[in-house]
Amino acid sequence: MRAHLIGCSDCGLVQVLPSVSADAVAECARCGHGLARPAGRGIDMSLAFSAAALLLLLPTALSPLMSLISFSVQRRSWLPSGVEALWNDGFGPLATVVFLFSIAVPFIYLALMVWVLGALRLGIAVPLGKLFRWAGELRPWAMIEVYLVGCCVAYSRLQDIGTVHVNVGGWCLIAATCSTLLAAISLDERAVWNALPSCAEPASSGRSISCGACALLSDTVREDAACPRCGATLHRRKPDTMRRTLALVVAGYLLYLPANLLPVLSIERFGREDPNTILSGVHELMSSGLWPLAAIVFTASILVPLMKLFGLSLMLVMTRWRSRRWLVGRTRLFRFIDFVGRWSNIDLFMISILVALVQFGALTRVRPEAGSLAFAAVVVITMIASRCFDPRVMWDEADST
Ligand SMILES: [Zn+2]
Ligand SMILES: [Zn+2]
């Protein structure tokens, strides 16, 4: 790989990216952010796993995931049946979120990856930068692995109601998830970006704008120009980052209490209604002896949203104070909360599966409740908040003192 200038996406430092050997990674000299992974991976492995995951998604969507036998009646759950059940119960926004994150976005993301990597592999000269940027932007919202954990939690909770079996779609979901994760692990994004043609020469000075999507430095002084490689609008920093993040964090705090205090679902057994909050769901898993799952749900649903809200608040306040304290630690914390936020959707997916499967008329029935809407809003808002925040402004403000 030819050494060239690169702008760190986490702290903004413009530096020379050296050639990386097969057993080394290149890290930012100031904040430690990984700039390039070991060379020599190529794109074949990632292409193969992405294609396998895309093919496996078809039987996952078209075959039953799991079946529940209770009161001598068998019910089956498909990938889209949770969406349909939530929609029919009048929870349209929740149905939309589950549809997008578990079905639509994973399909589109994997199709884009296969298209871009396949075209690169075959040497087809078509503009791919925009498509690869879209794939990168969609990746956090393609939650097939989170859906799988939601299925595991639903499977454990269904044991109290009847006999549960994993069907063909369920096994394909596990295989598709493994393939998606292996595709992500084997992907060397920097190698793909470097292989993509750019209609501009790489920047030669530090007085350039670094593209937020592909990190290409462009010799332009004009903001709002398009990146010559991926087409993203160039900004020195994410526009209006402090105010947008603040507004979303405040909205997140306001919704956090109803999300945790109101029931997210209710179980009707022989006419008796049993409302369940997020915390009571965790308690139920603990009572059944499922400690690891209880710990995962407690961390993902209760601790992670709170940690995101506190973490982003800390970053906003310290940036406003132009503090130089814990800059590297704060940048690492930001990277972590941006990464883990999507795992809070485990409970939403679990609710969609229970609502679709547990429908035995007056005997046993699960219904979604208003708390699930507030919870979905907290998860989505905190995810958007962390994507709106630009960690480079922490370094800019500290440098301006
Ligand atoms: Zn950095
Ligand atoms: Zn770009």
Query: Over 80: is that where the pLDDT of 361 sits?
Result: no
- Centroid of ligand 1 to alpha carbon of 342 (angstroms): 24
Return the pLDDT at 195: 84
Which residues contact residue 305 at a Cβ distance below 8 angstroms, ignoring those fewer than 6 apart?
Answer: 252, 256, 259, 341, 344, 378, 379, 382
Ligand (nearest to CA of 13): 1
Give the whole-angstrom CA distance, residue 350 versus residue 152: 8
pLDDT confidence of 370, banded at 50, 70, 90? very high
Ligand (nearest to CA of 137): 2
pLDDT confidence of 2, banded at 50, 70, 90? very low
Alpha carbon 89 to chain centroid, angstroms? 26
Query: Over 80: is that where the pLDDT of 55 sits?
Result: yes
- Centroid of ligand 1 to alpha carbon of 351 (angstroms): 39
- Where residue 215 falls (left for φ over 0; alpha for ψ -120 to 50; beta otherwise) is left
Give the whole-angstrom CA distance, residue 344 versus residue 297: 8
- Centroid of ligand 2 to alpha carbon of 4 (angstroms): 15
- Where residue 326 falls (left for φ over 0; alpha for ψ -120 to 50; beta otherwise) is left
Query: Over 80: is that where the pLDDT of 364 sits?
Result: yes
Ligand (nearest to CA of 212): 2
DSSP for 172-241, written as a single string: HHHHHHHHHHHHHHH--HHHHHHHS--SSPPP-SSSSEEPTTT--EE----TTPBPTTT-PBP-SS-TTH
Least confident stretch, 44-58, 101-115, 211-225, 293-307: 211-225
Give the whole-angstrom CA distance, residue 157 versus residue 352: 13
pLDDT digits (tens, 9 = 90+) for 316-347: 999 999 988 999 999 999 999 999 989 999 99
Give the whole-angstrom CA distance, residue 303 versus residue 309: 10
Within a 10 A sphere around the Cβ of 207, how many other Cβ atoms?
11
Q: For a pLDDT cut of 70, what percent of the chain falls above it? A: 94
Residue 62 tokens read as 């078209």
Residue 365: which of 352, 377, 380, 354 has the closest Cα? Answer: 354
- Centroid of ligand 1 to alpha carbon of 34 (angstroms): 8
Residue 104 is given by DSSP the state: I
Within a 10 A sphere around the Cβ of 217, how many other Cβ atoms?
22
- Centroid of ligand 2 to alpha carbon of 336 (angstroms): 23
- Centroid of ligand 2 to alpha carbon of 335 (angstroms): 20
Query: Over 50: is that where the pLDDT of 1 sits?
Result: no
- Centroid of ligand 1 to alpha carbon of 15 (angstroms): 9
The 3-state secondary structure of 277-311, one letter per residue:
CHHHHHHHHHHCCCHHHHHHHHHHHHHHHHHHHHH
- Centroid of ligand 2 to alpha carbon of 218 (angstroms): 9
Ligand (nearest to CA of 234): 2
- Centroid of ligand 2 to alpha carbon of 177 (angstroms): 29
- Centroid of ligand 1 to alpha carbon of 5 (angstroms): 13
pLDDT digits (tens, 9 = 90+) for 187-204: 888 888 888 876 555 555
DSSP for 131-164, written as a single string: HHHHHHHHGGG--HHHHHHHHHHHHHHHTTTSEE
- Centroid of ligand 2 to alpha carbon of 183 (angstroms): 22
- Centroid of ligand 2 to alpha carbon of 214 (angstroms): 4
- Centroid of ligand 2 to alpha carbon of 31 (angstroms): 21
Give the whole-angstrom CA distance, residue 380 versus residue 348: 11
- Centroid of ligand 2 to alpha carbon of 242 (angstroms): 23
Return the pLDDT at 42: 66
The answer to whether the CB of 341 falls within 8 A of the CB of 329 is: no
Length of the chain: 401
Query: Over 60: is that where the pLDDT of 230 sits?
Result: yes
Return the pLDDT at 89: 92
Mean pLDDT computed over 219-244? 85
Query: Over 90: is that where the pLDDT of 90 sits?
Result: yes
- When the pLDDT of each residue in the chain is averaged and rounded to a whole number, the result is 89
- Centroid of ligand 2 to alpha carbon of 35 (angstroms): 15
Of 369 and 160, the one with more pLDDT = 369
- Centroid of ligand 1 to alpha carbon of 193 (angstroms): 19
Query: Over 80: is that where the pLDDT of 4 sits?
Result: no
Mean pLDDT computed over 113-118? 95
pLDDT confidence of 39, banded at 50, 70, 90? low
- Centroid of ligand 2 to alpha carbon of 340 (angstroms): 25
Query: Over 70: is that where the pLDDT of 220 sits?
Result: no
The Cβ-side half-sphere exposure at 328, using a 13 Å CA radius, reads 7
Return the pLDDT at 318: 94
Ligand (nearest to CA of 395): 1
- Centroid of ligand 1 to alpha carbon of 6 (angstroms): 10
Ligand (nearest to CA of 203): 2
- Centroid of ligand 1 to alpha carbon of 210 (angstroms): 12
Residue type, 172: C
Within a 10 A sphere around the Cβ of 202, how many other Cβ atoms?
16
Of 7 and 373, the one with more pLDDT = 373
- Centroid of ligand 1 to alpha carbon of 38 (angstroms): 18
- Centroid of ligand 2 to alpha carbon of 88 (angstroms): 42
Ligand (nearest to CA of 130): 2
pLDDT digits (tens, 9 = 90+) for 235-256: 888 989 999 999 999 999 999 9
- Centroid of ligand 1 to alpha carbon of 224 (angstroms): 23
- Centroid of ligand 1 to alpha carbon of 260 (angstroms): 36
- Centroid of ligand 2 to alpha carbon of 34 (angstroms): 18
